Amino acid sequence: MTPPGRFGGCGEPSPHKRPFRFLLTLPTTGPDATPAPLPEFVTDIRQGRYGPFDTIGEVGRAAEVTGFDGVVAPFAPDAEESLVVVAGLLRHNRWIHGVAGFHPGVGTPVYAAKLSASLQRFTEDRFGWWPVVDLPPATARAHGDFLEGPDRYARADEFLSIAKGVWEHEDYTYEGRFFQVLAGGFQGPLAGRRFPAVHLSGVSADALDLSAKHADVHVFDVTDDLDALIADLGERAAGHGRSVASGLRLSVAAREDEAEAHAVRNVPEHALTGSFEQVAAELRGYADRGVSTFVLEPPPRVEEIYRLGEQLLPLFVREHAHVD
């Protein structure tokens, strides 16, 4: 597979790099959070100066300085638009990758590729895609997408094929059911960048087939039948002469000791809970089953990012790790 980026990617790990990628989900969904107001007699310099992009920027910055590999701006009907979010974040950080969720009806694959080629140029190839194919029908229609069933996967296949086609070829023609391009293809400095790392998800045969053909990383959930699905995906990918990395979406409640972790409030169901060492051991267990990308949900607060960055991530630096 294509490693997702120059830095901290999931290609051949160097001795000082983690063998895994840790991605954080950005706080881009739902209504804007309003900060707790200060009493009137306390000087408050924030009035009107800061907005949601400052909060997102703060999280991105924390991910950057604490050593995470990247951030994800998910696609959701109530979310900030992910391309705008990720472009701004990557501009202000040097190392993290940014993965933008979108549905494949957003526009033409040529335009998506063109916009992405610029972002790869601007960010030294740190931009990634997460096309979301399997939307609830009402959500899909509200975004202009009236396809249902297997057609959605056929369109996503075309979308990715054309986007990669114009990316990799100087003279590219494709007349498909949903999209077309005639004598297209990037030239000059727009050509030759790394195609955005493609993240996909879903457990249906259609979803696995799409990933087998196009994904760099297929992201599962902790409730999925991981071993069977990873094996299935591997076979399908081998049929295309490819391999696809497996990712896992999960939540983590890690503290210095187990009791402290169990006292954490608002922990989502199925969260990995325990001391940093216990959580690290569970993550290694997933790694042994073939998972190499961990997508942490829900969006953590800055203090949580610092805690994980300083205390959990170091347990995975290869020279300290137990995985070899």
Partner 1 sequence: MSIDIYWRIGTHGDQPSLRRRLVTRGDWSPVVPGSITPGLREGRPDGYSHLDHMADVARSTELSGFVGGLLPSFPFTDDPWAAAASLARETTGYRFMIAFQPGFLHPVQAARMSASLQRATGGRVVYNIISGGGGPAQLWWGDKVGHDDRYARTSEFLDVLKAVWYGGPVTHHGRFYQVDGAGLPERLAGQPFPEVYFSGSSRAAIEAAGRHADYYLSWLEPFPALAAKFDQVREHSAAIGRSPRFAVRIDVLARETEDEAWAEIRRGWRHVDPERLRGPESTGDSVGWLRSSRFIDWPVRTPRELEASPNVWGGFHLLRGGPAFGLVGSYAQVAARLDELIALGVDAFILAGVPHLEEARRIGENVLPLLRGRWPDTAPDTPVPSPETLESPEALESPGTLEAKGSTR
Q: Of 229, 287, 81, 265, whose CA–CA distance to 273 is shortest?
A: 265
Residue 156 as a binder of partner 1 (CB under 8 A): the answer is no
CA distance 208 to 263: 38
CA distance 234 to 227: 11
Q: Binding partner 1 by CB under 8 A: which of 34, 45, 182, 269?
A: 182
Q: Write each residue from 63 to 82 as x if it is in contact with partner 1 (CB under 8 A), else as -, in one continuous string.
A: --------------xxxxx-
Task: Report the amino acid identity of residue 191.
Answer: A
Q: What DSSP designation does 79 have? A: B
Q: Which is nearer to partner 1, 105 or 300 (CB)?
A: 105
Question: What is the smallest separation between the CB atom of 208 and partner 1, expressed in angstroms?
Answer: 27
Residue 65 vs residues 94, 257, 308: alpha-carbon distances, Å: 9, 25, 12
Q: Write each residue from 87 to 126 as x if it is in contact with partner 1 (CB under 8 A), else as -, in one continuous string.
A: xx-xxx---------x--xxxxxxx--xxxxxx-xx-x--
Residue 149 as a binder of partner 1 (CB under 8 A): the answer is no
Question: What is the smallest separation between the CB atom of 316 and partner 1, expressed in angstroms?
Answer: 28
Question: What is the smallest separation between the CB atom of 157 and partner 1, expressed in angstroms?
Answer: 16
CA distance 262 to 294: 21
What sign does the CA torsion over 189, 193, 196, 198 have? Answer: positive
Residue 30 as a binder of partner 1 (CB under 8 A): the answer is yes
Question: What is the smallest separation between the CB atom of 118 and partner 1, expressed in angstroms?
Answer: 4
Residue 58 as a binder of partner 1 (CB under 8 A): the answer is no
Question: What is the smallest separation between the CB atom of 82 and partner 1, expressed in angstroms?
Answer: 8
Q: CB within 8 A of 239, min separation 6: which ones?
A: 212
Q: Write each residue from 183 to 212 as x if it is in contact with partner 1 (CB under 8 A), else as -, in one continuous string.
A: xxx-xxxx----------------------
Q: Which is nearer to partner 1, 77 or 285 (CB)?
A: 77
CB of 209 within 8 A of CB of 236?
Answer: yes
Q: What are phi and psi of 323, to 5 degrees?
A: -90, -10
Relative to beta strand 127-131, strand 197-201 is: parallel
Place of tokens 């902790």: 222
Residue 61 as a binder of partner 1 (CB under 8 A): the answer is no
Binding site for partner 1 (CB under 8 A): 29-32, 51-53, 57, 77-81, 83-85, 87-88, 90-92, 102, 105-111, 114-119, 121-122, 124, 138, 141-144, 146, 162, 179-185, 187-190
